[in-house]
Structure 1
C-alpha cells in the first residue's frame, strides 16, 4: 500500500479520534432518535419501524412529527433509509461486544458512527485535490480544514443523515473526476453507487443527478482540467476496464448505463421501502397536507441560510468567506468542476431555501448545507497552491531566507486564510464543547412559538441587528455563564467529575496520530511519496483510535443520563432480560426515558423483545389502538414500563387499555419506574370456560355471583396463565373488595397467585351497577421449574379494609370457588 493511502488512513484515524474525544454521547434532537430507531429495528428484528418512539407522532408541531403510520398502526420514520441502514454493521459490531457481558452502551457507541463517515469525507476531499493535480500537502490541509474548521465537526458527533450526504455527494464528484482522468469504467460504477447512496439518504438529492450526469458526459467533449505546474497525480497502470474504443455514441451509452444502474436499483429500493412502511410505493411519510412543503419565500430562506445571525452559514464557518473569493481563480483553472460546484450549490440552496423549516429545527447552524461544505472548501486549493509555490522557492534556496522572506512567502492571502481558519476552528470548538440546545431553548423563550398555530413560528435572530442573539455567540454566553453545567463532552460531567483516563488516552492518541501524519507530510517533500508503507505500522495504526473508543465507551457507560446499574430503569431492563421470550413485547409509557432501553436493552437481553413507546394519552388514538390490538393477537406476554406515573393513573390511557384487554399478572416498582406483566389474549384461544353461577356473600346474604371463569386447561412452567372471571353484583356493595386468584398444588399450597381490585384498581365495587355482567382479567406468572402435574385454580373475594382479610363465603361455608383444573406440562 502506498504512503498516500497510509496517510489517508492516519488522517481518518486522527479526525475520528478527535470526534470521539469531543463527543457528548447523547442525542441532541429527536431527528437523531428517529434514525437510530430504524437502525435498531433493522439490526435486531429485520424490521424498519420506529415504534419505540411512537409517541413522537402526537406532538404540537408538524416539524416534530418524524414519521407516519403504516396500515397496522406501526410508526415509520420519514427519513431516507441509507444513514440508518449503513450504520447497522457498526451497531452489530457493538452489539457483539456488549453481549460479552461488557458494559457497553449501544446508543452511545452508535453515535460515534458519523465521526467515521466525516473522517472518510475529509479523506475523499484530500484525494479530490490530488485528482485536480494539487499536492498532497494541500490535500491534507483541505481535509483538516474540512474536518476541524467547518460545521462538519459538530455533525460528526450527531446521528443525522447530512454527514453521509456529504460523503456520497463528494465521492460521486471524485469518482466522475477520476473517470475523466483515467477512463476507467469502474469509476463510473463507483459514481453511480455514490449517487444512489445520496438519493436514498435524502430523496431530494435526486434533482442533483442531472448535474452529475452532465459532468460525466463532458468527458466525451471536453478535456479534463488540471494545473501543469503542480505535482502530477500518481501514475496508474493502463486501464483494464476502460470504456471500449467504439463509437462515441456507444461509449456514452455504456457510461450512462453503468452510472444509471445503481441509481435505478436505489429507486427500486425506495419504492420497496415506501411500500413496506406505508403500503404505497409512492408514499414518503412527509406530511405535505399538514404544513410540510416548499412554502417559504426563496429570498427569505436564502437570507436565513447564508446571512442571518440565526442560521447564516458564514457565521458558523467564517472560512467559507475566503473560499468564495478563491472560487474565481479556481473556476478559471477548473471551469468544468467550477460549474459542477456552482450547479450543486444553486440547486440545493434553491431547494432548501423554499423548505418550510429551512432552518432545520433544533440544530447547529444550517444543517441542510453540510453536504455542500466540502465543495465550498475545495476552491481554497488554488490560493493554497500559490502560497505553496512561494514557500517551495524558499526551501529550494531560490529566495533569500533572511529579511522576512518567509513572511513574504506566506503573503497576505496566507495570513487571511490562516486567520479565518483559526476563527472557524474556534467556532467549531464552541459548538462541540457546549450544548447548543441550551441556547436554542433560550431563544424559544425570547421568540416564543404560538402553539395554537406552530407554523406561525418564525426562526429567531433573523435580522442583522439581532447579531447578538446568534447561536454562535450564544455558545460563548453559555460557556462564560457555566461551562461545566452547559458542557457537551462525555468525559466532563455537569457535576464537575472528569474522566482523566479518557482525556489522557484521547490526548495521547491524537498526539500520536498527529506525529504520524507529520511524518507522512515530511515524506511528501522527498522522492519517497509513493513508497510502500510499513505493514506493521499499517496494521497497528487502527489500534490507536480503537483503544480510545474502548476507553471512551467504558467511561460513558457510567453517565447518569443513562441510569445507574441495578436501579430504576436499568433494574427494569435486567428483570425483563432475565425472563424475555421471543413471544414477548415491551410497551413503555416513559417518553422522556427512551434512551435507557436504546442504550442497554439489546446488549443485556439474549432475546430482544420489540418495544412500543407511547405517551399517557396516546391509547385514545385509533392508530395506537390498532397496533395494541395487533400486539394482543400476536404476542403472549406484554411488559408495561411506566416512568414517573402512579399506579392506576386515570390519565394513563395505555394502562387502562391493557387492563381492559389483556390480563395483568403482577406489578412491581423500581424506584420511580414501574414494571407490570400482562398475558395477551393468545393463550385464551384454547381456553376452557366453566359455567359457575355461585353466589358469594356475608352472613349468608349473596352479594356477588361468580357466573363463570375462562382459563387455559394446560400451561408450561415459567409461562403466564390468563384468567377471565365473569360476575355480577346481586346488591350494592359498600366495602372495598379484592379478587384473589390462586393456583394450588396437590398439597393445597399456592404456587402462583394474584390479588386485585376491579379492573386492576381502575374501578371499585361501590361504583359497579347491580345485575350487570362484569368481566375481570387477571393472570398468574408461573414459576420456573414448576413440577408437571395437575393443579387447582381457585378464586374468591375478600375485604381489603379488614385487618384479618375477611373473605366472602359460598352458601356451603367455603371461602373460595374451584374454577377448574390446570395441567402443568413443564417447560
Structure 2
C-alpha cells in the first residue's frame, strides 16, 4: 500500500501563525492603524465613515465639514473585524483605562498575522505550481517568512502584509488558470487584485501587468479571460470612486495630505534610497534577496514568462515609490512600500536551491535575514526615530519640519551609515539588555545636515549620549506581562494568546519537519529511479 504524500501547507501556515503571534508587540504602532480603527468603529456604531478629528489621525475635512480618514476602503472593511472583537473584549473583561485601551487595540495589533502567515503559504503554493520540488518550495516559503521584512510587518499594523497576501493570491489563481483553464480562476484572481486595490490604491499601477498576465494565460480565449479578470477589478475601482466622492466630493481625491499626494522628488533619490542607501536598502533589510537575485538567471531559463512578471512587478514598485516624497514610508522598518513585492522575488531563490550550486549562499543570507528581522522585532522602530529627534541640536536639521520642506526624504538616518536603523536598533537593544555596558551612541563619521537654506553642511563628530528613555523594554507582548499582572490589568487575553501561539508552533513545527523528511526521501527515491 502506497503511503499518501504529506501535505505540509496547513502545518506551514499554522506554524507561522504561532511564530508571528509569539513575537508580536501586541499594541498599535501608527496613526494609520488608529485612523482605520476609528473609522471602523464609527461604521459599526452607525455613524458612517466620518470620525472625530485627532492630531494623530491621517485624513482631511470633506465638503460637509466632517473629518474623514485617508486610508483605503478595503482597510476599513477589513478593520471591522478587529474593531468589533476589540469592543467585545473590552466589554467582557472590564478593567482600568490602560487595560481597556489594550483590549480594544489587541485584535487590530494582531490583525496582520493571518495575512502574513497566509502569504507564506501562498509562496509555497506558487512555488509548487511553478514546478519546484516540494522541499524547495518549503525552503523558499520559510526563507520568505523568517528572513525578510514579512516577519516584522506581521507584528506591525501597516497594511502592506494584507496587500502582499492578496497580490500573491491573485498570482496563485493566475497560475491555476494557466494549468487548469478554468475561467473561475480568472474571476477569483481579479477579485483578489481588486481587494488589494481597495486596501491600497497604488495597486492601480500594477493592474495593467496583471491584466496582461490574465490575457497571456487565457489559452484559446485570451480576450474573454482578460474581461473576466477585469470585471471584479472594475467593481473595486467603482467602489473606490464612490468612497472618495462620498468623503471628499471627487472620485479622485483620497484625502492624503496635499504636501505628499502629487508631490514628487527626483527619481534617483528614491531609487538610490530604496536599493542602496544605508538606512533603507531593500537588500540590507532582506538579505535572502541576494540569493534570489543570484538565482534569477536560472529561474528565467526555467520559467521565462513568470520571471518577467515577477521582476516587472518589483520594478514597478521601485519606479512608482522612488518619485514619491514619502518614498521611505518612515517610522517603519526598512523600505516598507516594497514589502508586497518581496515574496514574489523570493521565488527566484528556488531555482538557486534546485541547481545545488550555491546553497551556502542561501544559508548565509537566511542567517543574516534572521538576525536583521530580530532587530526589527525586538525594538520599536519609532524609538530610534524618537532618539534621533531628541538630538536635533547635535545633528542639525536632520528631520526637516514636515511637511513644510520639499525634501522630506533627505533624513540623515536614511543616508548616513552611522545613523542607520540597523546600527540604531542594535544600540537600543544592547541598552535594554545590558544598560551598564551599552555606553553612548557615538558617530564615527561626520554627520551631514540638510536644509533649504544651507544645503549640505558637514557637522563635527558628536557623542549623542546613552539611550535613556528610548530603551528599557523589548517590543514583545510578553515583555508587558509583569506590568499587566497587576490588579485591574488585562494579562489574561495576552496569556491566552501566548499559550495558543506556542501550541501552534509546538504542534506545527514537528509535523512540518516530518513532512520535509518524507518529501526529501520521496524526491531522493525518484531521482535514483530516474538515473537507472
TM-score interval for Structure 1 and Structure 2 normalised by the shorter chain: 0.7 to 0.9
Q: Is the 8 A contact 2:6 2:515 kept in 1?
A: no
**Candidates 435, 448, 455, aligned match of 2:380:** 435
- Which residue of 2 is the match for residue 29 of structure 1? 30
Residues 288-307 of structure 1 mapped to structure 2, 5 A cutoff = 288=258, 290-307=259-276
- Which residue of 2 is the match for residue 467 of structure 1? 417
**Post-superposition offset of 1:256:** 1.9
- Which residue of 2 is the match for residue 202 of structure 1? 200
Q: Is the 8 A contact 1:31 1:160 kept in 2?
A: yes
- Which residue of 1 is the match for residue 437 of structure 2? none
Q: Is the 8 A contact 2:161 2:340 kept in 1?
A: yes
**Candidates 240, 243, 248, aligned match of 1:278:** 248
Q: Distance in 2 between matches of 1:322 and 1:10?
A: 25
The yes-or-no answer on 1:164 pairing with 2:162 is yes
**Post-superposition offset of 1:524:** 2.8
- Which residue of 1 is the match for residue 121 of structure 2? 123
Residues 363-442 of structure 1 mapped to structure 2, 5 A cutoff = 363-387=332-356, 413-442=358-387
**Candidates 81, 89, 104, aligned match of 1:89:** 81
Closer, same or farther in 2 for the Cα pair 1:207/1:485, shift >3 Å? Answer: same
SS in 2 for 1:55: coil
- Which residue of 2 is the match for residue 255 of structure 1? 225
Q: Is the 8 A contact 1:115 1:156 kept in 2?
A: yes
Deviations 1:780-823 (A, max 9, x none): xxxxxxxxxxxxxxxxxxxxxxxxxxxxxxxxxxxxxxxxxxxx
**Post-superposition offset of 1:90:** 4.2
SS in 2 for 1:76: strand
**Post-superposition offset of 1:44:** 3.5
**Post-superposition offset of 1:160:** 1.3
- Which residue of 2 is the match for residue 335 of structure 1? 304
Deviations 1:702-746 (A, max 9, x none): xxxxxxxxxxxxxxxxxxxxxxxxxxxxxxxxxxxxxxxxxxxxx
Query: TM-score normalised to the size of structure 1?
Result: 0.53
**Post-superposition offset of 1:480:** 0.9
Closer, same or farther in 2 for the Cα pair 1:362/1:101, shift >3 Å? Answer: closer
Q: Distance in 1 between matches of 2:273 and 2:337?
A: 12
Q: Distance in 1 between matches of 2:62 and 2:6?
A: 46
**Candidates 280, 289, 292, aligned match of 1:323:** 292
**Post-superposition offset of 1:506:** 4.8
Q: Distance in 2 between matches of 1:505 and 1:216?
A: 40
Closer, same or farther in 2 for the Cα pair 1:147/1:184, shift >3 Å? Answer: same
Q: Is the 8 A contact 2:400 2:411 kept in 1?
A: no
**Post-superposition offset of 1:346:** 1.7
Residues 233-252 of structure 1 mapped to structure 2, 5 A cutoff = 248=220, 251-252=221-222
- Listed as ranges, the gaps of 5+ residues in structure 2 are 434-470, 486-490, 524-532
Q: Distance in 1 between matches of 2:84 and 2:33?
A: 18
Q: Distance in 1 between matches of 2:266 and 2:123?
A: 33
Closer, same or farther in 2 for the Cα pair 1:492/1:382, shift >3 Å? Answer: same
- Which residue of 1 is the match for residue 12 of structure 2? 11
Q: Distance in 2 between matches of 1:436 and 1:311?
A: 13
- Which residue of 2 is the match for residue 691 of structure 1? none
Q: Distance in 2 between matches of 1:163 and 1:329?
A: 28
Closer, same or farther in 2 for the Cα pair 1:123/1:291, shift >3 Å? Answer: closer
Closer, same or farther in 2 for the Cα pair 1:459/1:449, shift >3 Å? Answer: closer
Closer, same or farther in 2 for the Cα pair 1:505/1:188, shift >3 Å? Answer: closer
- Which residue of 1 is the match for residue 439 of structure 2? none
Query: TM-score normalised to the size of structure 2?
Result: 0.81
Residues 213-612 of structure 1 mapped to structure 2, 5 A cutoff = 213-219=211-217, 248=220, 251-288=221-258, 290-387=259-356, 413-444=358-389, 445=391, 446=395, 447-451=397-401, 453-457=404-408, 458-463=410-415, 466-483=416-433, 485-493=472-480, 506-525=501-520
Closer, same or farther in 2 for the Cα pair 1:183/1:210, shift >3 Å? Answer: same
Q: Distance in 1 between matches of 2:29 and 2:105?
A: 13
Q: Which protein has the larger Cα radius of gyration, Structure 1 or Structure 2?
A: 1
Q: Is the 8 A contact 2:86 2:105 kept in 1?
A: no
**Post-superposition offset of 1:386:** 2.6
Closer, same or farther in 2 for the Cα pair 1:501/1:171, shift >3 Å? Answer: closer
- Listed as ranges, the gaps of 5+ residues in structure 1 are 58-65, 222-247, 388-410, 529-827
**Candidates 55, 61, 71, aligned match of 2:63:** 71
Count of residues in correspondence between the two structures: 463
SS in 2 for 1:25: coil
Deviations 1:588-633 (A, max 9, x none): xxxxxxxxxxxxxxxxxxxxxxxxxxxxxxxxxxxxxxxxxxxxxx
**Post-superposition offset of 1:526:** 6.2
- Which of 154-163 and 75-84 deviates more? 75-84
Q: Is the 8 A contact 2:398 2:411 kept in 1?
A: no
Residues 619-638 of structure 1 mapped to structure 2, 5 A cutoff = none
- Which residue of 2 is the match for residue 620 of structure 1? none
The yes-or-no answer on 1:183 pairing with 2:178 is no
The yes-or-no answer on 1:148 pairing with 2:146 is yes
Q: Is the 8 A contact 2:376 2:425 kept in 1?
A: yes
Closer, same or farther in 2 for the Cα pair 1:89/1:31, shift >3 Å? Answer: closer
**Post-superposition offset of 1:150:** 0.6
Closer, same or farther in 2 for the Cα pair 1:46/1:134, shift >3 Å? Answer: farther
Deviations 1:509-558 (A, max 9, x none): 42332112223333434679xxxxxxxxxxxxxxxxxxxxxxxxxxxxxx
Deviations 1:323-356 (A, max 9, x none): 1111111111110011111211221111100001
**Post-superposition offset of 1:211:** 0.9
**Post-superposition offset of 1:158:** 1.5
Higher helix share: 2
Q: Which has the higher contact order (CA 8 A, sep 6+)?
A: 2
Q: Distance in 2 between matches of 1:131 and 1:170?
A: 13
Q: Distance in 2 between matches of 1:451 and 1:3?
A: 63
Deviations 1:472-493 (A, max 9, x none): 1211111111237141011113
**Candidates 105, 108, 113, aligned match of 2:106:** 108
Q: Is the 8 A contact 1:71 1:279 kept in 2?
A: yes
Closer, same or farther in 2 for the Cα pair 1:3/1:55, shift >3 Å? Answer: farther
- Which residue of 2 is the match for residue 655 of structure 1? none
Deviations 1:292-317 (A, max 9, x none): 32411111100101111111111111
Q: Distance in 2 between matches of 1:143 and 1:82?
A: 26
SS in 2 for 1:364: coil
Residues 599-748 of structure 1 mapped to structure 2, 5 A cutoff = none
Q: Is the 8 A contact 1:127 1:139 kept in 2?
A: yes
Q: Distance in 2 between matches of 1:467 and 1:4?
A: 49
- Which residue of 2 is the match for residue 702 of structure 1? none
Q: Distance in 1 between matches of 2:242 and 2:499?
A: 48
